[in-house]
Amino acid sequence: MRKSKLILTVLIALAGAACREAKPATPPAQTVAAAHPLQRDVTDWDDYVGRFEAIQDVQVRPRVSGQITRIAFREGVEVKAGQFLFEIDPRPFRAALARAHAEAARAAATLANARTELARAKELLQVRAVSREEYEQKLAAERSAQADLEAARAAERSSALDLEFTTVRSPINGRVSDKRVSIGDFVTAGQTLLTRVVMVDPIWFSFDGAESFYLKYIRQAQSGERPSSRYAPNPVDIQLADESDFRWHGRMSFVDNAIDTASGTIRAHATVANPRGLLVPGMFGRARLLGSGAYRAMLVPDEAIVTDQTRRFVYVVGQDGKVAVRNVETGPLVVGLRVIKTGLTAQDCVVLDGLARLQAGAPVQARMAQIKPRAQDDSPGSAPLSAPESSEATAR
């Protein structure tokens, strides 16, 4: 019995010694692709949605009442300022002008007679052939005749204007709508709508900006990073609904003086050249507005960025061959790569693949690669990650 216990004790001791001598096998270092961030001078662009508006939108109404006798334009085409559009029956106004001419002529004759009598009375007054009172009556008659002549001439000019207003002309260069009246209709001065003319070249692109963006722009203007669009013609690029790029270019020309309390936005518009008239009021568009000054940024592929519930980070390979975690602040896409605003330097070696199997402190075998642009510099970017982050950027 004692011999069996001794043998068992020896076996247990030998097994324990064997366990102490055995060392766990070190797993092989994972091979990953790594590269230094691509560096670019980046300018952010903020994304907006808006519509085109006419700079001048005129409702054409008659300035005299009468019957339409002629319509002299083609509907829906361009017209020039001063172009003949409608004619209102001019005959009553010609008669009124002739009557005004006659009244002016009569007033002129009365004035001439009054001046002759005044001159005669003046001569007689010098030889005391008339009284002073009679002379002053002649003087008053002459002044009254002068006033009557001026009134008659004013009525004559008014009648001439009324006759001129029987020809309704386009007040601006633009595109005319359809006619709202027909020949024979009676129109009332200042009330009846005849047609509508809108200016199409240039044209406004109007949009509403969030208060957060407005505050960002104010801070940038105060720091000198980017001038305010209220005073500077900052560039705006516009993409239409059927276009894949930003073909239309304008300049900021207006920022409103107050924020709408109902929507928390502020109105603004840019002026856009439209020489061929393709853009029309009411058309939808997507715009990008200069959102920052130029700054130096690190660019990495989106797949190199790990996102959890509270942060974004990348893995970098240290000089000891082990991976470390770097928290980063991301920006918009540019040349197909994600802007890293803070958290990386140009000397960092960013891990590009195999992220799912990595842990902080794990050894890796880095295979050096090179990050290259994946898209053209003017390609549209993604929507903002968090307002007021810019939706895209361009690089130099």
- pLDDT at site 385: 33
For residue 202, cis peptide bond before it (omega within 30 degrees of 0): yes
Taking the CB of residue 162, how many other CB atoms lie within 10 A of it?
22
Tokens coding 32: 């990953």
Q: Are the beta carbons of 372 and 360 closer than 8 angstroms?
A: no
- pLDDT at site 219: 93
d(CA 253, CA 270): 5
Question: In the CATH hierarchy, which fold is given to the domain comprising 65-90+166-198?
Answer: OB fold (Dihydrolipoamide Acetyltransferase, E2P) (2.40.50)
Sequence-ordered list of residues with C-beta below 8 angstroms from that of 7, at least 6 positions apart, any chain: none
- pLDDT at site 131: 86
All structural domains of the chain with their residue ranges:
30-44+294-395, 48-56+201-290, 65-90+166-198, 91-164
CATH superfamily of the 48-56+201-290 domain: Efflux pump adaptor protein, beta barrel domain (2.40.30.170)
- pLDDT at site 320: 87
- Angular region, 321: left φ>0, alpha ψ -120 to 50, beta rest: left
Query: Domain 91-164's class?
Result: mainly alpha
What's this model's pTM, rounded to 2 decimal places?
0.71
d(CA 19, CA 282): 82
- Report the alpha-carbon angle 40-336-330, nearest 5: 65
Helices (H) and strands (E) in the chain, counts: 4, 24
Question: In the CATH hierarchy, which fold is given to the domain comprising 30-44+294-395?
Answer: 2.40.420
* pLDDT tens, residue by residue, 154-202: 999 999 999 999 999 999 999 999 999 999 999 999 999 999 999 999 9
CB burial class (10 A; 0-12, 13-18, 19+) of residue 227?
middle
Report the chain (396 residues): mean pLDDT per 10 consecutive residues. Answer: 55 55 61 89 88 96 97 95 96 96 95 90 83 88 94 96 96 96 96 96 95 93 91 94 91 95 95 94 93 84 88 90 90 86 89 86 87 68 42 65
Q: Are the beta carbons of 87 and 72 closer than 8 angstroms?
A: yes
- pLDDT at site 31: 87
Instruction: Please report, rounded to a whole number, the percentage of residues in the chain having pLDDT higher than 90.
Output: 58
